[in-house]
Amino acid sequence: MIFRKPFLASLLVSLLAGGVLQAGPADQFLQALKSSKATVITANGAPAPATIQISRTWEGDFCTARIVNTGNTPVHLREVILAQAGRILPRNTPFYAEGFQMLTQTSGTLEKPQVLGNYTDEGHYRMPQPAGYLAVYNLLRLYPAGEPELLAGFTSCRRFVGKFYLNADTVKVIMDLENLSLAPGASFQLEEWALLKGREGNALLEKFAARINHHHHRLDFKEPPTGWCSWYCFGPRVTAQNIYDNLDYIKANIPALRYIQIDDGYQPHMGDWLSTGQSFGGNIQPVLNSIKSKGFEPAIWVAPFICDSNSTVYKEHPDWLVKDANGKPLRSDLVTFGGWRLKPWYVLDGTNPAVQKHLEALFRTMREQWGCTYFKLDANFWGAIHGGYFYDKQATRVEAYRRGMEAILKGTGDAFILGCNHPLWPSLGLIHGSRSSMDIKRQWTTFERSGRENLYRSWQNGRLWWNDPDCLLLTGKMPDNEFRFHAALIYGTGGMLLSGDDLTTISPERLNILRKTVPPTAHAAAFENTKFEIGRLSTPNGKSLVLLNWDSTAKTITVKLDKPCEMTDHWTGKSLGRFSGKYTVSLHAHDGSVVDIKE
């Protein structure tokens, strides 16, 4: 049968008109977001008057927006709905989303979200969200069945917080304006956001990270640090002798752990960081000097934005603190989580020039006089606290935090800066390392939950900063298989590697595993999907497989091989044989393996 061109053209028109060649849900969703109208919301929840005008500009996959007050009176603005789309994606569409602060991550489906960690922005930190919606922040990944993956995310965070409101059938892209007043003739330049689509999720994340780096140059540090941390073996009761004992063991048995980190507990009060408590005999500097004299790098924990009511900072400088509505120092527990120790905490105001000078001087002393070359900055979330009043009335909480961090960087010089319990996107370009999970504990449920948190964020490692998956724990009463799982997963993140054990008690077998994890690969394993069972690790030194069994029963895992190769157990160096076409391994419940590949 022969058809002529006019007939084919007519047939194509008919197919299009009949909807046979309709765009899929992913394309429809993207088009709906791009074509939706932006809406500015005032402090009282009403749409802004016509004198408040917003313009959006799309350059390919990236959108910027600007708000101008063309009227004669100032207007207080709560937020902007930059875009929205509803009733397009199925309610059972899986997603992953970031939190404002480090401890919040969310997955599940649009109709049934699942919190990955224990401490949510809305529940634990009491950050407001609208009725009928879940508020997530910074990054939203959507996985519609049979469709390309969708990525929406904010590529800058200099002044404003970017977030998304989700429910079972609607997604809104939001910029938080914090009820700031927009004066007549003035304008707000908003943060850029990206809208990407593709079949390969890792490629989307690569493009997204590159655009973030365009706006926030990564704070470079040549390689992910290795070291030892006192917290998970001694907690706040750490003593100088604890440090000396482990320092001697590390020097004799695993000197590749370069940074010796003294964690929370050395200071008498939150905020009095240059004072030392009784556990260190009132003087921490001899311990730091000993670390340095034995060829290692002194590292220390500081929570720079907080103080407690018994601290010298609180008593002598109440003017340095974020205020409540009555002009008094704001008790953080009245608006958010009040702290985990020596609470309630009060917050240093990063917009106050006196605070900036204090932070710069504090860290310059610790760097130049104490010799610290690594700073773990904890409780950084409070530096971007909501619900308070800043010295600079027109500053946002992002600006308060970033100004404080910039002052800290002036004091720390060339030292390594780790952000912990920090506001994630406001930290872009201001830290070398970023904690990527909740605190680790010697129990399977924590190994499992923190493991997923780390792997969902592994794309950030080496792109935005070095990820810190928290300490590797290899001592305790847990079974060998669960320790193997934990070690394999931490190794697969490619990020920082700190031991959290009292190493004077570690067994020879576990010490061997620890030795095989350093130096870190500096490359994260690429997993096939969010089941996180098969990860492929490729570095200049070779290729490896990271295999994880999350199940409570034994499981057989099969990996396709591109070419014949010899497989070797990474921990023991034992040859597993030569394989062609596929590699199959049976893993115990809660077990993990790292297999090196020689092609």
Q: Please, what's the b/e burial string for 127-151 (b: 16 or more CB within 10 A of its CB; e: otherwise)?
A: beeeeeebbbbbbbbbbbeebbbbb
**CB atoms inside a 10 Å sphere around CB 353:** 12
**Cβ contact 135:159 at 8 Å:** no
Q: Please, what's the b/e burial string for 211-224 (b: 16 or more CB within 10 A of its CB; e: otherwise)?
A: bbeeebebbebeeb
For residue 384, give Cα distances in angstroms to 349, 426, 596. 9, 8, 43
pLDDT for res 216: 98
pTM of the model: 0.94
Per residue in 572-584, pLDDT tens? 999 999 999 999 9
Using DSSP's 3-state secondary structure scheme, residue 206 falls into: helix
- With a cut of 50, which residues of the chain have pLDDT below it? 1-9, 11-20
Which residues are 194's β-sheet partners? Answer: 62, 153
Cα–Cα distance measured from residue 320 to residue 334, given in angstroms and rounded to the nearest whole number? 19
Reported as type and span, the H/E element at residue 108 is strand 105-108
Which residues touch 13 (CB under 8 Å, ≥6 apart)?
Answer: none
Cα–Cα distance measured from residue 365 to residue 381, given in angstroms and rounded to the nearest whole number? 24
Main-chain dihedrals φ then ψ at residue 316, nearest 5 degrees = -95, -20
Sign of the torsion formed by the C-alpha atoms of 198, 103, 539 and 558: negative
Cα–Cα distance measured from residue 285 to residue 298, given in angstroms and rounded to the nearest whole number? 10
**Cβ contact 82:173 at 8 Å:** yes
- The one-letter amino acid code at 432 reads H
Per residue in 276-304, pLDDT tens? 877 787 889 999 999 999 999 999 999 99
- Give me the residue spans of the domains in the chain: 22-215, 226-435
DSSP secondary structure string, 47-105? BPPTTEEEEEEEETTEEEEEEEE-SSS-EEEEEEEEEEEES-S-TT-BEEEE-SBTT-E
Q: Sort 9 into a burial class: Cβ within 10 Å, 0-12 / 13-18 / 19+.
A: exposed
Sign of the torsion formed by the C-alpha atoms of 278, 282, 284 and 287: negative
pLDDT for res 595: 98
DSSP secondary structure string, 223-260? S--EEEESHHHHGGG--HHHHHHHHHHHHHH-TT--EE
pLDDT for res 8: 47
Check: CATH 3.20.20.70 for 226-435?
Answer: yes
- The one-letter amino acid code at 243 reads I
